[in-house]
């Protein structure tokens, strides 16, 4: 019997927080490659908050996954077969194969990784999409200046943990918000944030922010949204900047959650808020990855990987991450 | 008996929409000038939405007017006495004398007006603070590009009527929103907007916007806020820009008015929103006024003045403007 591929498909559109039964583990024939394509065996696979949006019907910034279709996502793997002359079996490549053990792609759609430079899993984390998201979302969108105060929500996550550290590289004060005391300790003791707090143990976010940001807030990098953001707008300094990266607190709500209007703060404090997708900066990825790799080598950027084993455990790992279970970058070791 | 000054002071802090009894007409001694000062007789006085905020206690971007203090605001008048060698009796100057028949100021705090260039009242409108607000809020904050669609709320007001016309100068499609059919006719027939609607006669703002903006909305210049804005965010095009100038719908609310959260649109459509105060652009006022004067002379910028007679009628004129009674720039002829 020929070897089969294993895939996780979308079984049902979630209502609110996804359930394991919204996913289905299936067997499928091995992909067959055509001219200019590569067959890749997945080694690591990424689970990220943005995937929750792709489980919905209809378009947001990208089309949703169809029912029965393989869940999408970034992967790093080993080339098994190739009809692209630039890629050989044994090469390690980063690509978007989705939640499956094997995938195929056109050669130009994969990025070859040098495994001697850094662990290959980092191509899905600090030296991949989350790292680039932190880099461009902080530096290009929010433009932090030396001695400014940068607050990041989801500060212990794949993106947020890097945002605070890049802020430190730029001479800013970094304050992180997250949902456990372990995460607070990680940000302050291991990553060198100037301050952090566990929003689940603070009754009044506003007072805590005032205490940790005595000079006000110049930059807010928002991964989470919701009530935490509501308390931040009034504390933004004049000419403050808000970089909107994610809204994980909102992705699983059945009903929209009304909020105080924020526009008056934009006038009185002359705030700027901008949302972004990392792909908007694609032409500058090379330069950014080089700079980030330098910071990793000089220990200015630390990262933690939170690796679950087995493709079959991806749904549970994903759901747990949406509930805040991860510290650092959550990955699935597939093979 | 010596001539007396007449002033309108703040008698009480309004709850919600101001009432005539929140103001008081009083007599006061004529101001006496010291070295380097000028005594100015008020000819025209401006009433503007931002003054509502100054009637509240405490600081927003500027301090509030105290109870018993003269209401603040822009004026244009004639120099009566001067100890500043650059200003002579008979000179016409624009300044911030507030709601009174006579005021004094340091010479450097007034701006001399050439009455031969344009009617002096325009120094409070198209060639004054409202004109500069439209100019910088549209061109510097929202950066409209040729063929883009610009929507402006409060489109028949002092600022909005200029925003739509400057958008046309830049080759954009201009669509205005206002609260009467007279205002709609003014925007479309007299000012050359491409479209406009009366939000009081439209049950579904969203559908009307879709009809009038078939290519989506690239720039939203917001003078009003509230439910109109709520329907605009979902219709903003990718990389759209929102310039937040005013929130007149919110100034008289007793209780904050909760709204749908808007951040997801900022991510999916990569929107940018920025609030501003015209004074942030003060170093570029001269260049802007010169360009605006050129557009007025070549009939690219039309304006309408909505002049009420008599200082004693200022409170009523102001309250009526907050309720949307004005078409174009509301002024008070004081002398």
Angle at which helices B160-169 and B285-297 cross, to 10° = 80
Q: What is the mean pLDDT of chain A?
A: 95
Domain range for A102 is 4-125+304-333
Q: Which among B267, B279, B282 is the top mutation candidate for probing chain A, defined by the most A β-carbons within 10 Å of its own β-carbon? A: B267
For residue A249, tell me if it sits in a domain: yes
Instruction: Please name the residue that has the structure tokens 């212990």.
Output: A156
CATH for B213: 3.40.50.720
Tell whether A178 and A225 lie within a shared domain.
yes
R_g (Cα) of chain A, nearest Å: 20
Residues B131-154: pLDDT tens digits?
999 999 999 999 999 999 999 999
Question: What pLDDT was estimated at residue A208?
Answer: 96
CATH for B114: 3.90.180.10
Residues A96-140: pLDDT tens digits?
999 999 999 999 999 999 998 899 999 999 999 999 999 999 999
Question: What pLDDT was estimated at residue A112?
Answer: 95
Residue B250 contacts A, CB cutoff 8 Å:
yes
Final residue belonging to a domain, choices B262, B279, B296: B279
Number of H helices and E strands in chain A, helices first, is 9, 15
Residue A1 contacts B, CB cutoff 8 Å:
no
Q: Which among B263, B268, B277, B280 is the top mutation candidate for probing chain A, defined by the most A β-carbons within 10 Å of its own β-carbon? A: B263
Residues A196-245: pLDDT tens digits?
999 999 989 999 999 999 999 999 999 999 999 999 999 999 999 999 99
Domain count, chain A: 2
Question: What pLDDT was estimated at residue A174?
Answer: 98
Contact B277, B135 (CB under 8 A): no
For residue B286, tell me if it sits in a domain: no
Do A60 and B268 lie within an 8 Å CB cutoff? Answer: yes
Mean pLDDT computed over A291-317: 97
What is the pTM for the complete model shown?
A: 0.94
Tell whether A41 and A116 lie within a shared domain.
yes
Residues A146-197: pLDDT tens digits?
999 999 999 999 999 999 999 999 999 999 999 999 999 999 999 999 999 9
Residues A235-270: pLDDT tens digits?
999 999 999 999 988 888 877 788 999 999 999 999
Do B244 and A263 lie within an 8 Å CB cutoff? Answer: yes
pLDDT by position in tens, chain B (length 335): 578 999 999 999 999 999 999 999 999 999 999 999 999 999 999 999 999 999 998 767 788 999 999 999 999 999 999 999 999 999 999 999 999 999 999 999 999 999 988 999 999 999 999 999 999 999 999 999 999 999 999 999 999 999 999 999 999 999 999 999 999 999 999 999 999 999 999 989 999 999 999 999 999 999 999 999 999 999 999 999 999 999 988 888 877 788 999 999 999 999 999 999 999 999 999 999 999 999 999 999 999 999 999 999 999 999 999 999 999 899 999 99
Which residues contact residue A44 at a Cβ distance below 8 angstroms, ignoring those fewer than 6 apart? A75, A76, A77, A120, A121, A124, A307, A331, A332, A333, A334
Residues B71-100: pLDDT tens digits?
999 999 999 999 999 999 999 999 999 999
Tell whether B119 and B159 lie within a shared domain.
no
How close B136 gets to chain A, by Cα (Å)?
Answer: 13
For residue A299, tell me if it sits in a domain: no
Tell whether A135 and A121 lie within a shared domain.
no
Measured over the CA atoms of residue A291, residue A292, residue A294 and residue A300, the dihedral's sign is positive
Residue B62 contacts A, CB cutoff 8 Å:
no
For residue A119, tell me if it sits in a domain: yes
Question: What pLDDT was estimated at residue B282?
Answer: 96
Tell whether B89 and B223 lie within a shared domain.
no
Question: What pLDDT was estimated at residue B256?
Answer: 76
Tell whether A112 and A149 lie within a shared domain.
no
């Amino acid at each position: 019997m020929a070897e089969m591929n294993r895939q996780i498909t979308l079984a049902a559109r979630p209502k609110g927080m996804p359930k394991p039964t919204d996913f289905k583990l299936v067997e499928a024939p091995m992909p067959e490659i055509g001219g200019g394509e590569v067959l890749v065996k997945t080694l690591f696979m990424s689970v990220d908050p943005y995937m929750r949006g792709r489980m919905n019907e209809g378009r947001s910034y990208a089309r949703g996954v169809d029912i029965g279709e393989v869940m999408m996502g970034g992967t790093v793997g080993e080339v098994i077969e190739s009809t692209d002359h630039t890629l050989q079996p044994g090469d390690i490549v980063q690509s978007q194969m989705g939640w499956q053990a094997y995938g195929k792609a056109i050669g130009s759609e994969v990025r070859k990784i040098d495994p001697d430079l850094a662990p290959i899993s980092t191509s899905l984390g600090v030296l991949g999409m989350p790292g680039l998201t932190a880099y461009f979302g902080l530096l290009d969108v929010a433009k932090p200046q030396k001695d400014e105060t940068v607050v990041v929500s989801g500060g212990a996550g794949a993106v947020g943990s890097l945002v605070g550290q890049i802020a430190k590289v730029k001479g800013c004060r970094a304050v992180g918000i997250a949902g456990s005391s372990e995460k607070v300790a990680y940000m302050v003791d291991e990553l060198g944030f100037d301050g952090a707090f566990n929003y689940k143990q603070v009754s009044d976010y506003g007072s805590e922010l005032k205490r940790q940001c005595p000079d006000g807030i110049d930059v807010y990098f928002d991964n989470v949204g919701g009530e935490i953001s509501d308390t931040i707008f009034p504390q933004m300094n004049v000419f403050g900047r808000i970089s909107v990266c994610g809204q994980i607190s909102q992705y699983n709500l059945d009903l929209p959650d009304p909020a105080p209007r924020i526009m008056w703060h934009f006038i009185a404090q002359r705030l700027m808020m901008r949302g972004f997708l990392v792909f908007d900066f694609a032409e500058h990825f090379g330069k950014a990855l080089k700079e980030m790799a330098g910071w990793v080598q000089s220990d200015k950027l630390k990262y933690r990987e939170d690796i679950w084993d087995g493709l079959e455990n991806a749904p549970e790992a994903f759901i747990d991450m949406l509930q805040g279970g991860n510290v650092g970058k959550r990955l699935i070791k597939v093979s």
